[in-house]
Amino acid sequence: MPSSTHPRRGKRRFDDDDLTFAKRDRNRARLPAADAEDYADGLQAGERWSTWDQSSPTEKGPPPYPRWLVTELAAVDTELGILKTGKEADVFLVRRGVPGTQRSCLLAAKRYRAAEHRMFQRDTQYLEGRRVRESRVNRAMANRSAAGRAMIATQWAEAEFAALRELTKAGLPVPYPVQVLGTELLLEFIGDADGSPAPRLAEIRPDPASLTALWDQLVPALCALARLGYAHGDLSAYNLLVHHGQLFMIDMPQVVDVIANPRGGEFLDRDAANVARWFTARGLTNCDPEPAGLAAELRAEAGLTTL
């Protein structure tokens, strides 16, 4: 144990969570309060009618829709609590169910901040290669005006949804993207039926056999991601979930097009080094954190020149 009682300070990562403070709690984007008409229809605080019909077909997950997903328009969304706080978005647990029936499902509602949105660290690196058609939108985003920050928040939500939609269709281990609406992204909840979320890889202590099994899941997933032309962009043990032995990649708003982004190869290298070092530090011997290992494999899958 270190002799100092002060916590070690260091560079914060893109996916590091903020501590939860009571003063900050009031700024979280929770479900809107039910209005008088909603109360008359039986809704309570923390409830809303399902937003399923408010998203266009391209703003919904890829069909066929999973059998567990509630798509009935009579469904009600009930907020059950917060799962995760972050610098740019908070994730809430939501139950979508049809009143008077047993039909329900749990969703993770990821809500990006707009008005109070604080910029992602190194966000310009991730935004390279991403452009929208309207020049005024590009200017507002570049100038970081209030409108521009709101547009960026929406773009992050849309970018993560689009990436998850494509990766789901390709069969990669990611949460099913239910729908996106403005700055809210609704996702498959990865966890147990009682609302207990799956732990992040960094939170578990796998035995040697489990460690090997997780690595054997991760490498093919990253290779498939690279073949599609993408890097996660900030992969680490903090944005990998483990649910009953199955690995899921999460937190993908910064997904990088390694062809369009001039630094695409560097993102592949960093993702590979981050996860390989974590597995190596826990005793796995067949993973190489050096550039000649997983990083070179990912570059080859993406069609990029090796280091």
Cα angle for residues 105, 61, 256 (degrees, 5° grid) = 120
Which of 156, 188, 220 is at the close of a domain? Answer: 188
Looking at residue 113, its pLDDT comes to 82
Q: Which alpha helices (DSSP H) does the chain contain, by range? A: 22-25, 36-40, 123-127, 135-143, 146-169, 208-227, 264-281, 296-302
- Helix then strand then coil, in percent of the chain rounded to 5, is 35, 20, 45
What CATH number corresponds to the domain at position 95?
3.30.200.20
Asked whether residue 135 is assigned to any structural domain, the reply reads yes
Same domain as 51, residue 167: yes
> Among all chains, which residue has been given the structure tokens 């914060």?
12
The structure tokens listed for 120 are: 């992602």
Judged by average pLDDT, the poorest of 163-172, 233-242, 289-298 is 289-298
What CATH number corresponds to the domain at position 214?
1.10.510.10
Asked whether residue 114 is assigned to any structural domain, the reply reads yes
Same domain as 89, residue 149: yes
Which of 166, 188, 210 is at the close of a domain? Answer: 188
> pTM of the prediction?
0.80
Same domain as 263, residue 211: yes
CA nearest neighbour of 256 among 248, 268, 272: 268
Quick: pLDDT tens for 42-74. 798 899 999 999 999 999 999 999 999 999 999
Give the domain range for residue 223.
Answer: 201-302
The structure tokens listed for 2 are: 């270190």
Looking at residue 47, its pLDDT comes to 95
Same domain as 178, residue 147: yes
The structure tokens listed for 42 are: 């039986």
Same domain as 136, residue 38: yes
Residue 134 has pLDDT above 90, yes or no: no
CA nearest neighbour of 63 among 164, 180, 165, 167: 165
- Bridge partners of 108, per DSSP, are 93, 187
The structure tokens listed for 154 are: 């929406």
Same domain as 82, residue 227: no
Same domain as 215, residue 169: no
Residue 76 has pLDDT above 50, yes or no: yes
- Sign (positive/negative) of CA torsion 199, 153, 163, 265? negative
Cα(12)–Cα(14) distance, rounded to whole angstroms? 7
Asked whether residue 5 is assigned to any structural domain, the reply reads no
Quick: pLDDT tens for 238-278. 999 999 999 999 999 889 999 999 999 999 999 999 999 99
Collect all residues with Cβ–Cβ distance below 8 Å to 175 and sequence separation of at least 6: 108, 164, 187, 188, 189, 190, 248, 250
Asked whether residue 160 is assigned to any structural domain, the reply reads yes
Collect all residues with Cβ–Cβ distance below 8 Å to 64 and sequence separation of at least 6: none
Domain count, the chain: 2
Same domain as 178, residue 30: yes
Cα(120)–Cα(141) distance, rounded to whole angstroms? 13
Same domain as 174, residue 28: yes
Same domain as 135, residue 91: yes
Exposure b/e, 44-78, CB count within 10 A at least 16 = b: eebbbbbbbeebeeebbbeeeeeeebbeeeebbbb
Percent of the chain with pLDDT over 70: 73
Which of 164, 188, 212 is at the close of a domain? Answer: 188
Mean pLDDT over 195-203 rounds to 97
Res. 24 pLDDT band, cuts 50 70 90: very low
Same domain as 154, residue 69: yes
Asked whether residue 120 is assigned to any structural domain, the reply reads yes
CB 73 within 8 A of CB 52: yes
Asked whether residue 252 is assigned to any structural domain, the reply reads yes
Asked whether residue 14 is assigned to any structural domain, the reply reads no
Asked whether residue 32 is assigned to any structural domain, the reply reads yes
> Among all chains, which residue has been given the structure tokens 């997780």?
214
- Sign (positive/negative) of CA torsion 258, 211, 170, 236? negative
Same domain as 169, residue 58: yes
